[in-house]
């Protein structure tokens, strides 16, 4: 029995090791696959009017699998320089909105425009240059922390990288690691906590300085001091940018220009925090629930 157990256990360890090392490669290929799913239209032009772009979702319908509609006619406008927050239960389709805006997928009906241009009519390169994403789970490459911050703006100088890291409040942490900005991170390097990874993503976004931002808030709660600090940094980054926030904690969205409540692929309520509270509907009960809940997420 023991003779069988040891090799199997050993194989298990090797399997986990290989699987972990492949995870980020895996994620990268997944992203590359997604990029191949959409293609530039013939005659696609560069996205223009990026000084103060308004983003519009117009009656958007989308399904990953034709048998299961995910978005069932979503319309929303993010005015230039403002923040619109999307809230709602898990699986409502919130993150799908951000994937469609970044054009990982093409929608089936309706359209998404930036500064009046249908995103299917512009080059993917110009679209993605205009959008910065702070995702739920930041992919870190098996490379140095400096490379990970500069990813997306490879021409950045070391001074610019450090300036972004300071603004994202990750500089001191980086300086405390064995080789500072040359420290290897990712699956095979130094493992960062959820909050540290988010800060790397914020620094990356600051460096890229795009006119449009997407914040997909992490589902897993950080400790509350960290949480408040990250929210303050995000607010600072979002200043004057056209921003879509996918929120899991209502405390994040209080100041949004508009809050959109989604359920099963539809918008069921919309308005400012105060208006939605006064309405006494779905948002108001979610708010009451979160005020009483220690988890503080939904
Ligand atoms: P959460 O709050 O849990 O992040 P969400 O509202 O952001 O949820 P989405 O991530 O937009 O939800 O997902 C909406 C639905 O689409 C879910 O039921 C999910 O299982 C499904 N879905 C998401 N990604 C894919 C995919 N790549 N292929 C197939 N179905 C998917």
Q: Which of 67, 70, 268 has most ligand 1 atoms within 8 Å of CB, for mutation?
A: 70
Q: In the chain, what percentage of residues exceed pLDDT 90?
A: 58
pTM to 2 decimals? 0.83
**pLDDT(16) > 80:** no
**pLDDT(245) > 90:** yes
* CA distances in angstroms from 71 to 68, 92, 104, 298, listed in the order given: 9, 8, 15, 20
Q: Round to whole Å and give the CA distance between 126 and 115.
A: 13
Q: Roughly what angle, to the nearest 10 degrees, separates helices 194-208 and 158-167?
A: 130
Residue 97 CA to ligand 1 centre (angstroms): 10
* 236-256: average pLDDT: 88
**pLDDT(125) > 50:** yes
Q: Which of 102, 23, 240 is nearest to 112 (CA)?
A: 102
Q: Output the ligand 1 site: residues, CB below 6 A.
A: 64-65, 70, 90-96, 219
Positive/negative CA dihedral, 145, 147, 151, 153? positive
Q: Round to whole Å and give the CA distance between 237 and 220.
A: 22
* 154-172: average pLDDT: 92
Contact partners, residue 140, CB within 8 Å, separation at least 6: 24, 148, 185, 186, 187, 192, 197, 200
Tokens coding 39: 């293609």
Tokens coding 25: 């490669």
Residue 105 CA to ligand 1 centre (angstroms): 13
Q: Which of 33, 95, 250 has most ligand 1 atoms within 8 Å of CB, for mutation?
A: 95
pLDDT at site 283? 95
Q: In the chain, what percentage of residues exceed pLDDT 70?
A: 83
Q: Which of 257, 296, 133, 128 is nearest to 204 (CA)?
A: 133
* 184-194: average pLDDT: 87
């Amino acid at each position: 029995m023991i003779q069988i157990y040891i090799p199997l256990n050993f194989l298990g360890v090797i399997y986990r090791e290989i699987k972990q090392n492949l995870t980020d490669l895996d994620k990268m290929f997944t992203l590359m696959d997604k990029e191949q799913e959409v293609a530039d239209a013939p005659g696609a032009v560069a996205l223009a009017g990026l000084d103060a772009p308004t983003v519009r979702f117009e009656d958007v319908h989308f399904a990953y699998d034709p048998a299961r509609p995910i978005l069932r006619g979503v319309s929303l406008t993010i005015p230039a320089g403002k923040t619109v927050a999307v809230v709602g239960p898990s699986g409502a389709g919130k993150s799908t909105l951000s994937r469609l805006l970044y054009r990982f997928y093409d929608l089936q009906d309706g359209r998404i425009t930036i500064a009046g241009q249908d995103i299917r009519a512009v080059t993917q390169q110009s679209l993605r240059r205009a959008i910065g994403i702070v995702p739920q789970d930041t992919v870190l490459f098996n490379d140095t922390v400096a490379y990970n911050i500069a990813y997306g703006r490879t021409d950045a100088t070391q001074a610019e990288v450090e300036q972004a890291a300071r603004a994202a409040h990750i500089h001191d942490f980086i300086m405390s690691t064995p080789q500072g900005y040359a420290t290897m991170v990712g699956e095979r390097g130094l493992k960062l906590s959820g909050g540290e990874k988010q800060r790397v993503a914020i620094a990356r976004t600051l460096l890229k300085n795009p006119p449009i931002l997407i914040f997909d808030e992490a589902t897993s709660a950080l400790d509350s001091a960290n949480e408040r600090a990250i929210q303050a940094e995000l607010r600072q980054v979002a200043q004057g940018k056209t921003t879509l926030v996918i929120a899991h904690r209502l405390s994040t969205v209080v100041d949004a220009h508009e809050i959109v409540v989604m359920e099963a692929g539809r918008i069921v309520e919309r308005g400012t925090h105060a208006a939605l509270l006064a309405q006494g509907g779905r948002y108001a009960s979610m708010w009451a629930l979160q005020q009483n809940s220690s988890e503080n997420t939904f």
